[in-house]
Amino acid sequence: MSKSDIVNHMADKAGISKASAGDALDAMIEAVEQGIRAANQGDSVRVPGLGTFTVRHRAARTGRNPRTGEAIQIAASYSVGFKAAKNLKDAAGS
């Protein structure tokens, strides 16, 4: 499902224009981004009915170059984790 499919569904379901639905979707995505930027490790951004976004820390580690087999150092970084809400998990199972 693409972003335009989501916008079309939102517009039909809410009885609003596609432009308004697109603006609403962009605003929600921006709000989640801002919440993630403001969050520290372990903090989360919860969107009821969708799921929880969390900031996770990845420690530095040693990896391997798959082409040469040479050991390389992978720097520490932060990533975003997502845990789906129960209703989404149930929908995926049916």
Each residue's pLDDT tens digit in the chain (94 positions)?
999 999 999 999 999 999 999 999 999 999 999 998 887 766 789 999 999 999 888 999 999 999 999 999 999 998 899 999 999 999 988 6
Taking the CA atoms of the chain, what radius of gyration do you get in angstroms?
Answer: 19
pLDDT of the residue at 38: 85
Tell whether 57 and 87 lie within a shared domain: yes
Domain match, 31 and 58 both:
no
* Structural domain range at position 62: 41-94
**Is there a single domain that holds both residue 32 and residue 47?**
no
22 with 45, same domain? no
- DSSP state at residue 39: P
Q: Are residues 48 and 90 in the same domain?
A: yes
- Residue 72 has phi, psi (to 5 degrees) of -130, 155
In the prediction, which pLDDT does 41 show?
A: 66
Structure-block tokens of residue 30: 């921006």
Q: State the total domains in the chain.
A: 2
* d(C-alpha 90, C-alpha 66), whole Å: 38
Question: Based on the domain organization, do 53 and 34 belong to the same domain?
Answer: no
